[in-house]
A and B are shown apart, each in its own frame.
Chain A
């Protein structure tokens, strides 16, 4: 009888141990099998590059995270609310949004789910909240690079509107640190651009464009690039597309690396158990594009070594 009791007791203990281990294992596995919804504003290459970087980072870290993709351009405007509700109802651990459109749509409705974004420019102006990786390259970074590419430049022209006033102020502060004098002109609409440029063209060695849709649209950009070539004023464009069209240089983010930065941020938030990082993260990798044809037309001497560092060279 006693022997039987011992056997039963051992069996119960073993069973309890087995149960405890299996439950722990299952819950551990479940905890590590996370889901991230990837929501794109549109199906365009820059956004796709950011997604690629995001997923590559997760894959390299060997995380047990699954992703499911949504592209908002596939839905009509009146379907947007329904799509967002559907995404939020999937109970993913985190939502990664790419571009302003997707970020605003998700942030508006997401209450209990962490949201991390990437590929948003001037988030304050467009009503996007942190956390996320922005595309704004700090003026200090631009001027630091500009000093190496155009060492003789001292006076930088800057046309802005009320929408980009803060960017102008940032540029003035950064310019002072790097020895640049910022010659600014404020306008209220793009129609005033030609006269504003005319006013400052005689005083500047270089012109810095700013991401302000009120001022810069295809016609004003065409005017700027044409006039600057005529007046021998190099232009720092908004992206490599502007360099291809006639700006001398541009400073661009590496979109894939932005995605990787966003993945780092996302993992940090998920590991912290959902606590939010209330800051915008700036791009850590900045590359620049050059137009050699413009270099030649403006008769500029680019320091040796700079050409090799350029990520894109146009006008070959």
Chain B
């Protein structure tokens, strides 16, 4: 008799749920012990389930095993502490195990709560992202390093520092409505960061990238289930993520190469994702707030709704980029606006947007900057300048896939 398959990401998501629930019970200062207990419970399951069969309620089973291990470990720690210094024993941190039948919705709340703990303003944003990927999404240090393109040692160091901070500042764990409201922008930012990491990375495989996008969507949906998360910014963020996710599959050819927007097979865009994104976009418009996620979702929606590249609402896209630049000034946004302006009013107008702009070094040295200039100059008939920028763009390409894309693009436009 073979057990039915576990749902996708079961272990990883159980990890997050268990860590969140146990952290709420014993306090975030014990995060390291909680994570050890959860990791141990999953390993025990791996050893026990194949032999004795999977329990009817795997989540509850894991919870009991992890909880028992944690209680044992904390008791041991406390005894050691009492022997070390003869202080009064601290009150028992762990109460009786909760009624397992109510675990479902409580666990959702616990996950969200831990997300807000991770977003404490004393932690640098990159650390918040790493902590969320570890504690909530159940990725290992190695997996996080692969996904964020950083060294394992640096992920490890960030986690260590974050845990130390959470251990020493118990007040970080006190979460009332005021803290939820205060940390909301940070929560939006890290969900956005996880999504962008998945959507835009030039390095990782498509499987890894779409996994990150799915995780960001999962956290976004979690947030929107909570009354305090139901605000226009969250709706706009969800709209943005769904509308981008709709095009995820069509962005890549079968061989791992990237496909330009104008060459994408629009019938491969996910209609279901587009519909969901548009619903959230509509909800995000209720109220009088307009944030960068609104602008970005608006741009994504224009692309998703356009029947073809040529028939795209470039004028509205330009307006969205102008709003975006106002809310969150960045030369990258200006560069994007130049591309949209060029489609709307012609390449000369596009170049005019960039005239006088002093891009930061990272952007000037990037393939995006050179590739856009190469394209605009070619379309204006400035052949020498175009050729120079083409070379710069190819030199700056961060990966073979991007370089291949640029070559294809340049070859194609030269034949036009």
Q: Do A and B bind each other?
A: no
